[in-house]
Amino acid sequence: MALQPSLSPLLIGSPAAPHTLEVYLDYVCPFSAKIFNNALDQLIKPAVTEPGGRYDIYGKVKVILRLHPQPWHGSSTFLHEAALAVLRVAPQAFWAYSRVLFKHQEEFFDIPVSQLSPIQIRAKLVELGKEAGLNDAQMAEVAELLKYKSSPNGGVAVTDDLKYNIKIGRHNSIHVSPTVLFDGLIAGDVSSSWGDNEWSSFFKSRVTA
């Protein structure tokens, strides 16, 4: 349930909430898009951020998004780097940018990007910042963070943040996306197809504080 300070905007809800829901997502995974769009965005985020929300979990449950690029999705690293760059430049726009990435994920599947260079893919990702409300100056900052460093194999400015996310996934033996943890333990019963009823039952059975 750890989270380094520079990635604190990945936590949704009250940091003091006694329970923690962690969700490992890959922006190029259709099942991750499903759980983000149908559950996290529409049901769970409002419940942990708005008093009187559904499930009676406001102040009781916090959510941590774990960025978990899968290596068999060739462009996944680029999408996660872009999300981390937005997180650094405009943390208030990170959730909206995540929504945009999932909306456009099919544009970054293997075949659509097969003829694009990494620089071209990153340019497309910077341009998507407009849909998340980034202004021109912020988009320029994101683009700067996504430029290769001077060393031949040094990555970009947010590579260390990406490494942290990958390492914590490995540390917790996370294999598939999405994977959900509750209070540090994998909740293997959770499905990306769950709706309101299933999530209501889930929280009723687990939220004790």
Question: Can you give the residue ranges of every domain in the chain?
Answer: 5-206
Give the model's pLDDT for residue 150. 80
Give the model's pLDDT for residue 2. 82
5-206 has which fold?
Glutaredoxin (3.40.30)
Query: What six digits make up the tokens of 207?
Result: 């939220």
Residue 58 to residue 56: CA distance in whole angstroms: 6
Pairing of strands 61-67, 19-25: parallel
pTM of the shown model: 0.95
Residue 57 to residue 133: CA distance in whole angstroms: 29
Give the model's pLDDT for residue 105. 98
pLDDT in tens, the chain (209 residues): 688 998 999 999 999 999 999 999 999 999 999 999 999 999 999 999 999 989 999 999 999 999 999 999 999 999 999 999 999 999 999 999 999 999 999 999 999 999 999 999 999 999 999 999 999 999 999 999 999 988 889 899 999 999 999 999 999 999 999 999 999 999 999 999 999 999 999 999 999 98
- DSSP 8-class letter at 43: I
Sheet with strand 11-12: strands edge to edge: 11-12, 61-67, 19-25, 179-182, 185-186
